[in-house]
Chains A and B, each alone.
Chain A
Amino acid sequence: MKAMVYRGPYKVRVEEKDIPRIEHPGDAIVRVTRAAICGSDLHLYHGMMPDTRIGTTFGHEFIGVVHEVGSSVQNLKPGDRVMVPFNIYCGTCYFCAKGLYSNCHNVNPNATAVGGIYGYSHTCGGYDGGQAEYVRVPLADVGPSIIPDWLHEEDALMMTDALATGYFGAQLGDIVEGDTVVVFGAGPVGLFAARSAWLMGAGRVIVIDHLDYRLQKAREFAYAETINFTEVNDIVVELKKQTDWLGADVVIDAVGAEADGNLLQHVTAAKVKLQGGSPIALNWAIDAVRKAGTVAVVGAYGPLFSAVKFGDAMNKGLTIRTNQAPAKRQWPRLLEHIQAGHLSPRDIITHRIPLEHIAEGYHLFSAKLDDCIKTVVTTD
């Protein structure tokens, strides 16, 4: 089969690999029909995530058709069209039993701080991902769901991570009616978080980025006010001005490890890799939220330390809420919203490329060429 393969920072290529085999009775092998490149894939692509091995296939956002199932699989059969959450999880461990699927303790030997994620380095379990023609889906009775006939395949694809994570981020904000919600990052997750904030009753939603075309999307898709942080002297002061000098009630960090806006922070984290992530957006969030407000973090950071302004967070009495999204836990509600017309996830897709051209897809996304927001990878 053809598969995307990591060859080192900023380098990927398509190689012939063996079709994955059943390695556990609970496995399924899924023939991938659509995958996506996630903003967090860029952290891998840029060499930021420890233990990202040459030869690994990325891709934690994918849908497909069940090709083969292991001997203990009961809920799926070959031919089923499935969407697969980016989390690999067992459903029964100490954490899964509490609904914390993204924190599963039974699927990642390499780290205890993070669960299993498809195609996201050995730090997240050493699984190959879905930017390939076939992928191994462990514990297939738990993760995948059959795609409803009425659901557009690209909407299903967005549910596997970006939409679920954005919606989860808004939930972490614990938004109440009338709250002013600031979202750092107008990428896919930020756009979905902003749109979701309205569902939860936000009174204002303000999206921050430095890419004008993404801010335009935030205005059109997420009905948000926007600020380009490069056009103001100090984004924290600007946000204070816009919130009666008190600060926002809720701030969502949908940027994560490669935040820009402070050269020293960005270079030490994203280029020299001496921090787990560049906490520029997180620090702005801490300073721009009001005292006793909530900072929700769904932007992905690496496991190494980061220079976070924790003193301000402590002195302001903030609530900081974080996690990888337990994607499938969001799905029933998200399906309701899509069916009701409240959400139209595929509207954020800007580029569709065949698997053979995935190196160009990564470069396009990484370099933000051609107003790229979300790239879908096709395998047929």
Chain B
Amino acid sequence: MPYTADAHHRPTSEQLRARIPGWGADLDRADRPSVPKERTDLTTGAHWTIPERQPELQPRERSIEHGMLPPVFGTTAPLHGVSGLVRRFAYERFSEARAAHWLLLILGDRIDVVGSRVQGVLQGRPDNPITETGIRAEIGNRPIASRFGRGRADVNHTWMDPLIVIGPTAVVVAALVIRARRR
């Protein structure tokens, strides 16, 4: 079959308009909300030129690609502990363009998990793998029928998930056991 300049076989616009609610309502490309991409005629509700500066009650890490701390920022979960040291180093030393920046932040995330496990135990609220993984949702929600015999591509690798879930806990337990034995 030769390749031609004809369009593919498709239903006519009239057929589509009759079958699909709203077909072609936004046909005019110039009349779509994000067209053109950049518009300067939109009103936002802002009544400032620059937002007032949010008080920086404790030192706030920032990307070195920012010339200054932006005026508004989130304050949840400030840097702390060893994970905080790793994260702060990632922010202060490497730009977003560097893989080291992101890999260190991921390392900080894993250290944070281990630290939080220990902290949870010390605070009397240890992590509960049954309730926190939501595994109880398996009950009554067709765990077998949902997964098998349906050609799901993700079933090939879900066996790895428990390793990811229990990995940090296993590392902490192993470290504590080794330390106890040395004593």
Question: Which DSSP category, helix, strand, loop or mixed, fits chain B's interface?
Answer: loop
Nearest residue, chain A, Cβ from B46: A91
Q: CA of A361 to CA of B132 in the docked complex: distance in angstroms?
A: 11
Interface string of B63-100 (1 = CB under 8 A from A): 10110011111111100000100010001000010010
CA distance A289 to B116 in the complex (A): 46
Name the interface residues of A325-370: CB closer than 8 Å to any CB of B: 326, 329-330, 332-333, 337, 340-343, 358-364, 367-370
Q: A26-B51, A199-B22, A303-B96 are in contact. Are A368 and B29 (CB under 8 A)?
A: no
Within A162-176, the residues touching B (CB, 8 Å) are 168, 171-172, 174, 176
User: A342 contacts which of B25, B102, B105, B137 (Cβ < 8 Å)?
Assistant: B25
Q: Across the interface, do B165 and A139 meet the contact criterion of CB distance under 8 Å? A: no
What is the interface residue range for chain B against chain A?
35 or more
A288 CB → nearest B CB, Å: 13
Interface majority SS (helix, strand, loop, mixed), chain A: loop
* Pair A204/B27 contact, Cβ less than 8 Å: no
Cα distance, A92 to B52, chains bound together (Å)? 12
Known contacts: A47-B164, A51-B87. The answer to whether A273 contacts B76 by CB under 8 A is no
A79 within 8 A of B: no
- Contact call A90/B46, Cβ cutoff below 8 A: yes
Among the interface residues B129, B137, B151, which one has the most CB atoms of the partner chain A within 10 A?
B137
Query: A327 vs B55: C-alpha distance in the bound complex, in angstroms?
Result: 28
Q: B-facing mask of A223-247, CB < 8 A → 1, else 0?
A: 1000011110000000000011110
Q: Are B133 and A359 in contact (CB under 8 A)?
A: yes
Interchain CB contact under 8 A, B44 and A96: yes
The verdict on B11 contacting chain A, using a C-beta distance below 8 Å, is: yes
Contact of A92 (CB < 8 Å), options: B25, B49, B142: B49
A198 adjacent to B137 (CB under 8 Å): no
Q: Is the CB of A203 within 8 A of B141?
A: no
- Beyond the given pairs A24-B52, A199-B25, A368-B154, 16 more chain A to chain B contacts, judged by CB atoms under 8 angstroms and listed by A's residue number, are A51-B87, A54-B112, A92-B44, A109-B60, A109-B66, A123-B105, A141-B46, A168-B34, A198-B24, A203-B8, A203-B10, A260-B154, A305-B99, A340-B25, A341-B21, A342-B21
**Sample (18) of A-B pairs whose CB atoms are under 8 Å apart:** A7-B116, A10-B165, A11-B127, A11-B129, A24-B51, A74-B47, A98-B40, A139-B46, A171-B33, A180-B8, A199-B23, A201-B26, A210-B154, A333-B32, A337-B25, A341-B22, A367-B137, A369-B137
User: Which residues of B approach A to under 8 Å, CB–CB?
Assistant: 1, 3, 6-11, 13, 16, 19-27, 29, 32-35, 37-40, 42, 44-52, 54-55, 60-63, 65-66, 69-77, 83, 87, 91, 96, 99, 102-103, 105-106, 108-109, 112-113, 115-117, 127-129, 131-138, 141-143, 146-147, 150-154, 156-158, 160-161, 164-165, 168
Residues of chain A touching chain B, judged by Cβ–Cβ distance below 8 Å, are 7-13, 23-26, 46-47, 50-57, 72, 74-75, 88, 90-92, 96-101, 105-113, 116, 122-123, 125-128, 138-139, 141-142, 168, 171-172, 174, 176-178, 180, 196, 198-201, 203-204, 210-212, 223, 228-231, 243-246, 260-261, 263, 266-267, 271, 273, 276, 302-305, 326, 329-330, 332-333, 337, 340-343, 358-364, 367-371
